[in-house]
Amino acid sequence: MPRRTATMLASTLILIALLCAGVLFPVPYSEMSPGPTVNTLGDHDGEPVLQISGRRTYATSGHLNMTTVRVTSADYRMNLVEAVYGWLAHDNKVVPHDTLYPDGKTEEQSTQENAEEFSQSQESAKVAALKELNVPVTSWVIVSTVVKGSPAEGRLHAGDVIKAVDGTAVKAPGDVAKLVTKHKAGENVVFTIVPAKEQAAAEKARRTATTTQKVSVTTAASDDSGEKRAIVGISAGTDHTFPFTVDIKLADVGGPSAGLMFALGIYDKLTPGSLTGGRFVAGTGTIDDDGKVGPIGGIEMKTVGARSKGAQFFLTPADNCKAAAKDTPSGLRLVKVDTIDDALAALEDIRSGDTAALPKCTK
């Protein structure tokens, strides 16, 4: 066989082997891509996204779209060819698998965590919108989660209202940890609680729950490195009672990043006129009970998804501005926001057509 022919054959075989290896062998990466975008003022799967009863609502127009990111599942392993294609694709992003699923988190665990964050974001969106409208909201501290195998398991339950710890009234979730860590491991902490079932029954009957119980829990030492802390194995959170019903109907979405857009949608439906003036506005951002907007992941994917659906303006958390401004889709204007007040002020300018002074995102 001539040397040139032999060389070409060998090269071809090596290329085939490399391609096969690229297809067959997995690499430790996952892919992010633009996900669905939903108008919080409109319908989804045949029913309104925001459903409010017990309070007068007003007609709305335009779009206040929440945005999402689609990611590969925890169990899926990309091959080298897919990873290279993803790196080259403009609208996709390939990231280390552990970035999306740290500590070997399973698909089920990730889904559950995202569902919990989504639920909490809805509650915070309601609180932030109603506070902006000076509508009173009753809040209290609850047991958010109980760690399996911890001292609190079987003694405290998710949804229990924490009135006091060792006789000291609790006003915020952070108070619980401060009071517990005053103890040493092995000491007892006394929680004054309203059991979750009693609280739920009281809310259903629209009465104030007054039946309290005292529950003693023996602390354990934390597993943290360094100085050991006394813990009981719970995380504290906040629950609320609203003077009317606000339901958010949106399935198959997780995470906290729709908080801002839900809050704006609720505000729009509870006030006369249109926040957008008929314009197509999209956005993202977490929100807390006080209306503070926080950063999210996958901002580049969300701007692409929003623009592909026709968005003209994109409300962008201040901490995401730099990343979003690096590659902004043509025709989409990024608007920097830090609070719900910033977003409402920006929408007023957009509605009036006076957009010259809108806060910009810069690289």
Residues 25-62 pLDDT 10s: 566 666 778 899 999 999 998 999 999 999 999 999 99
- pLDDT value at residue 12: 60
In the block, residue with structure tokens 């007068």: 56
pLDDT at 13 over 70: no
If one counts every other C-beta atom within 10 angstroms of the C-beta of residue 94, the result is 20
- Contact by Cβ (8 Å): 162, 181: no
Burial of 171-199, coded b for 16+ CB within 10 Å and e otherwise, reads eebebbbebbeebeeeeebebbbbbbebb
Quick one: pLDDT band at residue 123, thresholds 50, 70, 90?
A: very high
Please tell me whether the overall predicted TM-score, pTM, comes out greater than 0.85 for this model: no
SS3 category, 83 = helix
Which segment of 174-178, 203-207, 253-257 scores lowest on mean pLDDT? 203-207
* Torsion, CA 119, CA 120, CA 126, CA 131, rounded to 10: 180
Whether residue 22 is predicted with pLDDT greater than 50 in this model: the reply is no
CA distances to 39, 122, 307, 314 from 304, in Å: 16, 24, 5, 10
Do 346 and 358 touch, CB atoms closer than 8 A? Answer: yes
